[in-house]
Amino acid sequence: MEVTLEKKLELISKIDFFSRFTQADRITMANLATFQGYAPTEKLILQNTSNTHLYFIINGTVDIVIDEKLIVSLAGGGHVFGEISFVDYTPTSASVVANSKVVAMLFDTTKINLMIESAFDKLRMDIYRSCAEILARRLIHTNSITKAYFQKEKLGDLL
């Protein structure tokens, strides 16, 4: 799927992940971006496998599935996944399955990690920081769910 540099830059400018990036870094990322289409029920990522891409949903909806159980659905708008594998190189913690026709913007994390010249230091730091912010928000959300669960359990003990 061929997409012009201008269209890639337009999409990148709309995604929060890239909000702190300089224009030069956005251009670098646009040059690295590839696009892939997926049919409904097609797996973008399979749980417990190796992943070397950051995915951004441009159009469509995907389901995040762990052990065959639906966790959440994400629709367009630049939602990102694949960040855990990028940060810690572990196998994927979930499957990602197209719930509709999906177009995703992909970044090969191997290529990002090979950009070792000092000119790319800030770019790599911004990528890691954006991933860290996403993971922190998800952890805060998970902690609030856990807290609510345990408060409910304590209430149940009192009844």
Q: What is the pLDDT of residue 152?
A: 76
Q: Is the pLDDT of residue 156 over 90?
A: no
Q: What is the pLDDT of residue 66?
A: 95
| Average confidence (pLDDT) over 5-32 | 95
Q: Using only C-alpha atoms, what is the Rg of the chain?
A: 18
Question: By three-state DSSP, how is residue 119 classified?
Answer: helix
Write the secondary structure of 99-122 as one string of H (helix), E (strand) and C (coil). CCCEEEEEEEHHHHHCCCCHHHHH
Q: What is the pLDDT of residue 117?
A: 94
Q: Is the pLDDT of residue 158 over 70?
A: no
Q: Is the pLDDT of residue 118 over 60?
A: yes
Return mean pLDDT, the chain. 91
Q: Which domains does the chain have, with CATH numbers?
A: 5-158 (2.60.120.10)
Nearest residue to 62 (alpha-carbon basis) of 77, 44, 85, 82: 44
22 within 8 A of 76, measured Cβ to Cβ: no
The structure's pTM equals: 0.86
Nearest residue to 53 (alpha-carbon basis) of 101, 18, 12, 104: 104
12 within 8 A of 18, measured Cβ to Cβ: yes
Q: Is the pLDDT of residue 112 over 90?
A: yes
Q: What is the pLDDT of residue 106?
A: 97
List, for residues 21-65, the tens digit of each pLDDT value.
999 999 999 999 999 999 999 999 999 999 999 999 999 999 999
